[in-house]
Amino acid sequence: MESNIPIVGGEEPTQEAQTTAAPHTEAINGASETVTTQPESPVTTELAAHAPIDETADGSMQAILDQQQDEPAVKKGEILEGTVAQTTPTEILVDIGLKSEGVISDKELSRMDRETLDRLKVGEKVLVYVLNPEDKNGNVALSLSRALEEQDWRNAEDYQESGKIFQGKVDGYNKGGLIVRFGRVRGFVPESQVSRDRRRRAEGGDPQQKWGSMRGEEILVKVLEVDRQRNRLILSERDAGPQMREQQKEKLLDELQIGDIRIGRVKSLADFGAFVDVGGADGLVHLTELSWKHITHPREVLKVGQEVEVEVIGVDRDRKRIGLSIRKREEDPWMAIARQYQIGQLVQGTITKLTKFGAFARLVDNPEIEGLIHISEMADSRVNHPKDVVKEGDVVTLRVVKIDSEQRRMGLSLKKVSSPDFVESDYRRATAAPVAPSPIDEYVDFEAASLKDDERRRNDRKKGGGKKSGKKGTRGGGGFDEFEDEDDY
């Protein structure tokens, strides 16, 4: 068989040459393709068989790659919790869980106050903000102040989303409204978002006169807008009011007890009473609880913004209502009646109202007290209607005929003023030392005078000097007992 290997120089090629140069044809996937293979040198094969395997370079590189994959990456703007690892006058190293510590630079430290710096001890847990994941020195640059500020912004966003109420202090002001610190972020409360009560107190032409006195005051606000890019945080005291009052009202309803005394501020007036703020919640002082004297509208005794002392007289936790009284904090004028007036005493009264059974008169020296002149006490003769004797607005002299402090009633008489049977008692009162007589003595004295007066009238009737009435409903004689039964008084 003839060989395909060319012969050079008439010599038969050596085994090495044949192995080195011989091309051959192989069939690959049914196609004929010429493949030239380079045989290994016997020396190379020998060295490769006996030489040790060197994995140092490739193994170290893989280990580094594996370590980098295991090591958590940090991003700019992240807030991390770390531990102070080392402090120096120029920098602070913080362990944030990486192979190397993060660095707080001297520039950052120079902006911190002494109190904050003193707290940065080795081992202290701190929040840090990633300024740069890798600075020019290959370190993670960190900031403490930015972390706190960033946390405040996030808190503001949380308050905005949840609608929670933030409690802070008025830190400053400008011509448009109030400045409130939200942590390290400056929040702004526009004048339109300031509460009505605070706006009512804001008087003056310039910001100092208008808002200056409010600096340092507590304030409750809701977050309306958060815009970190524009460094804009808008707050509202007005929107926080209803929600806060409801929360405070529920708290007050749990705390308040009947008989508690509070200092409140009048919030508004209505025909039926006044609403008074007693610490974040409004209670109602009904018209009848405003004063011991008769009034027709709260404006007669109160004005909006006025401070008043009130007593709790009702707490309805189911309906969330608070009942208050102002008059209970004042002395009941009827309790002083026994000290100031005695049966049979002469007083001045102003006629205030006429009814079919008598006339009401307000005491001139004690306007809170009204007494009734029963129709039987109008005159010695029969009276068909009080208008035949007096009219509204008349100021007349009257004699006290009955006092009932418990029922809050006083009986007055017009016909007994000039009775001769009271001359002696009137003289004794006028000339006696200014010592209040015993109510019992006064009552006995008046009864004796009344008996004499009744006896005189009976004698007059026997002589035909008095008119006799047999009609049903005639109010004659000692008719005060009939007055007691009148529903109108």
Tell me, yes or no, whether 439 lies in a domain. yes
For 460-484, the pLDDT digits (tens) are 555 554 444 433 333 333 333 333 4
Same domain, 353 and 383: yes
Same domain, 480 and 345: yes
pTM of this structure: 0.43
Please report the pLDDT score of residue 425 as a whole number: 72
Report the chain's mean pLDDT, rounded to a whole number.
77
Which pLDDT does position 40 carry in this prediction? 47
Query: Closest by alpha carbon to 412, among 371, 375, 355?
Result: 371
Q: Quick one: pLDDT at residue 67?
A: 52
For the ranges 166-170, 199-203, 410-414, 426-430, which has the lowest average pLDDT? 426-430
pLDDT at 64 > cutoff 60: no
pLDDT of 375 over the 80 cut: yes
pLDDT of residue 354: 95
Determine the structural domain holding residue 346 and report its residue range.
340-464+473-484
Give me the percent of the chain exceeding a pLDDT of 70: 73
Residue where a domain terminates, one of 213, 242, 271: 242
pLDDT, position 181: 93
Mean per-residue pLDDT, 429-436? 60
375 and 480 in a common domain? yes
Weakest-pLDDT range from 225-234, 280-289, 316-325, 466-475: 466-475
Q: Is residue 385 part of a domain?
A: yes
Task: Find the CATH number of the domain harbouring 231.
Answer: 2.40.50.140
Q: What are the beta bridge partners of residue 227?
A: 232
299 pLDDT higher than 70: yes
Least confident segment among 69-73, 103-107, 238-242: 69-73
141-162 tens-digit pLDDT:
888 878 888 889 999 999 999 9
Number of domains, the chain: 4
Q: Is residue 61 part of a domain?
A: no
* pLDDT computed for residue 468 by the predictor: 40
**Considering the domain boundaries, does residue 33 fall inside one?**
no
